[in-house]
A and B are shown apart, each in its own frame.
Chain A
C-alpha cells in the first residue's frame, strides 16, 4: 500500500486552530465596524442602528483637517517614494552584478530593518535641529519622513516585476533603432507599469496608516487621521473613532483589491 502523504489538514485540532485564528483576526474588526453604526455614545453597548457617528465625524472640522493632511502626505509620499524606488530598482537590476549589491539592497530597505521608534526619535531630533535653524514648521518634514520609510514598500514590488523581465527585451528595442530614452519610454516603463502602480498603492496605504513616526515628527496642529484618533484616547471614546476607522478600512481594502487585480498575472 502506498504511504499516505503528509496532510496538515488531518492533524487533530487543525480545524479548531484555523477557526480560532480567523475569529481572532476578524471578530474585533467586525465589532469595530458594527459599533460605528451605533446610535448611542458607547463603543461597547449597542443602542440601535444609525449613521449618527459618520455624520458627526463628517461635520468635525478637526477630522476634516486631519483627513486632508493625511491624504496630502500620503499622496506626496507615494509619488516621491515610488519615483525613488523605481530608479533604485532599475539601478539594482538592469545591469550586471556588481560588488556591494547586497549592501545596497540592505541599505535601500533600511526602514524594514531599523525599529520604527528609533527612526522616529532620530527624526524628531534631526528635524528639531533644522526647525531651529530655518524656522520652517510646515508639512514638509512629515512628507519627507513618510517618503523615506515608504521606499522599501514601493521598491519591493517594482524590483520583483523587473526581475521577471527578460533583459533581451531592452536589447531588442535598441536593436530596433530605439534610443535609450525611447527604449525606456516604450518598453521598460509600460512593462513596469503594474509594478509601479502596485508600489505606489502600497506606499500610499503604509503612509496613511503611520502613527509612530508621525507622532514624533509632527509639529503642533499637524495631526493626521491616525494621530488624531490616538489623541481621542485621552478623552472619552465615542463611536466616532469607529466610524473613522471603518472609513479608513474601506479605503485600504479598495486599494489593496486594486493592487491585487493589477499585479496578478493576466490571462
Chain B
C-alpha cells in the first residue's frame, strides 16, 4: 500500500450556534487519510465524526481550517464539484427512480454518454449482486438490498473517496455481519479509499486498516485496530474500545505500585498518581500465594459460553475482571468465594496518565 495521502483535514473547526451557546462539534481536528485504505472514524454519538464526514463531503463548511484532496484545497468546493461520494445513513435513494436509474444518477449528472452509463450501471449492479432488480422501484426492495443500491450508486462514478455514514446501523445483526464482509470485499476490489463512520467498536476493529477514535469534537487516537486496542493513549480510548480494567497506581522505580502495595513491572514515563489498565483476557488466575501474584478473591462468575468472566476483588476492594476459558464439563473450575492470585500477561498492562 502506498503512503500517499488522499484526504487531509488541517485544524478543522466546526462551531454551531451563536454567542454564549457556541458548540464546537469539531475542535481543531487534523488528520491524514491514506490512499486506498479503509479508515474508520469511531466514537459515541455527538463526538463530531459525522460532522467531519460532512466537511469532507462538502455539505458543511468548516468554521476554520482546511480540507485537502490529493493535496488540493477543496474547503470551498460544493459537494457536486468533489470527486467524493457518500452512502447515507438513511440511504437517501430517489424513490421516483428505478434501481438502475438510481445507480446511474451520478454518471448522468456528470454528462457521461448513455452507453457508458448503461454499461457502468450493469457492472455496478453485478458487483453488488442486484442485476435482477435493475427495473424495480427502490421501495420494492428490502433494507439490505436498498443498502446495496446505495453502495452501487455511490461507487458508480468511481469517486476518489467513499464516505459511509453509519450505513449498517439500520440493519439487523445477521445482515450487518454479512454487509461488513461485503463492504470489505468491495473496498478491496475497487481500491477506493473508504472513510467509514460508526459508533460500533467491534465493527471498527474488524473492518478497518486504521481507526480514528473521536470524543467531544477531538481526535483522541489514530492507529491500526491492534494499536488502538493494545496501546490506548488515554482512559477514554481504553474504555470505549473493548472492555478493560482500571487500577489506581503510583509510579515507583521499575514499575507502578497498586493500592494493595503490589508492584507491577511496567514502563512508565509519567510520575505520581496514574491509572494502570489491563484487558480482562490478559489477566491470569493462578494459585493463591504464588510468588509475585496479586492476592484476590473471586466474587462471582458470568458464563459466556467459550469464556467465563471472573469478577474479582483485590485486598483494597478494587474490582478486576478476568476472562478465562470456560472449564470443560466435569473439569473443576474457579468457584465464587475462593482466594486466588492474579498475574498480568507480560507487556499487557499499561500506564495511563489521565
Contacts and interface: CB of A to CB of B under 8 A. Distances in A.
B79 A175 contact: yes
Interface in B81-117: 81, 84-86, 88, 90, 92-96, 105-106, 109-110
Contact of A187 (B59, B80, B94, B140): B94
Contacts of B154: 175-176
B90 A176 contact: no
Contacts of B86: 171-172, 175
Interface stretch (A63-71, A177-185, A238-246): A177-185
Interface string A151-185: 00000000000000010110111111111001000
A139 to B, nearest CB: 37
A182 B93 CA distance: 16
A169 B80 contact: no
Contacts of A178: 80, 105, 109
A267 B139 contact: yes
Contacts of A144: none
B110 A177 contact: yes
B292 interface: no
B96 A172 contact: no
B92 A177 contact: no
B78 interface: yes
Interface in B132-157: 139-140, 153-154, 157
Interface in A185-207: 186-187, 190-191
Contacts of A186: 105, 109
Interface in B40-74: 57-59
A133 B81 CA distance: 53
Given A174-B78, A190-B96, A168 B88 contact: yes
A191 B95 CA distance: 8
B82 to A, nearest CB: 8
B96 A176 contact: no
B90 A179 contact: no
Given A168-B88, A171-B88, A177 B109 contact: yes
Contacts of B93: 172
A261 B95 CA distance: 18
Interface residues of A, number: 18
Contacts of B90: 166, 168
Contacts of A177: 80-81, 106, 109-110, 157
Given A182-B109, A267-B139, A174 B79 contact: yes
B109 A176 contact: yes
Nearest to B153: A176
Nearest to B110: A177
A169 B157 contact: no
A175 B59 CA distance: 8
Interface residues on B, range: 20 to 34
B94 A169 contact: yes
Q: Tell me which of A175, A186, A191 has the highest count of chain B C-beta atoms within 10 A of its own C-beta.
A: A175
B124 to A, nearest CB: 13
Given A175-B85, A175-B86, A169 B92 contact: yes
A82 to B, nearest CB: 20
Contacts of A179: 80, 109
A168 B57 CA distance: 13
Given A177-B106, A267-B139, A172 B92 contact: yes
A111 B93 CA distance: 37
Nearest to B78: A174
A126 B92 CA distance: 49
Contacts of A187: 94
A169 B153 CA distance: 13
Nearest to B88: A168
Contacts of B58: 174-175
A175 B140 CA distance: 24
A266 B86 CA distance: 28
A187 B109 CA distance: 12
Contact of A171 (B92, B95, B105): B92
A11 B119 CA distance: 66
A171 B53 CA distance: 13
B85 A176 contact: yes
A175 B86 CA distance: 7
Given A166-B92, A190-B96, A191-B95, A176 B78 contact: no
A73 B188 CA distance: 63
B94 A172 contact: yes
Contacts of B157: 176-177
A172 B139 CA distance: 17
Contacts of A182: 109
Contacts of A267: 139-140
Contact of A174 (B80, B94, B139, B140): B80
Nearest to A178: B109
A176 B111 CA distance: 12
Contact of A175 (B80, B95, B96): B80
Given A169-B94, A191-B95, A267-B139, A176 B106 contact: yes
21 contacts: A166-B90, A168-B88, A168-B90, A169-B94, A171-B79, A172-B93, A173-B105, A174-B78, A174-B79, A175-B58, A175-B59, A175-B79, A176-B109, A176-B154, A177-B109, A178-B80, A182-B109, A186-B109, A190-B96, A191-B94, A267-B139
Interface of B: 57-59, 78-81, 84-86, 88, 90, 92-96, 105-106, 109-110, 139-140, 153-154, 157
Interface of A: 166, 168-169, 171-179, 182, 186-187, 190-191, 267
Q: Nearest 8 pairs between A and B by C-beta?
A: A176-B106, A172-B92, A168-B92, A177-B109, A174-B79, A178-B109, A175-B79, A174-B80
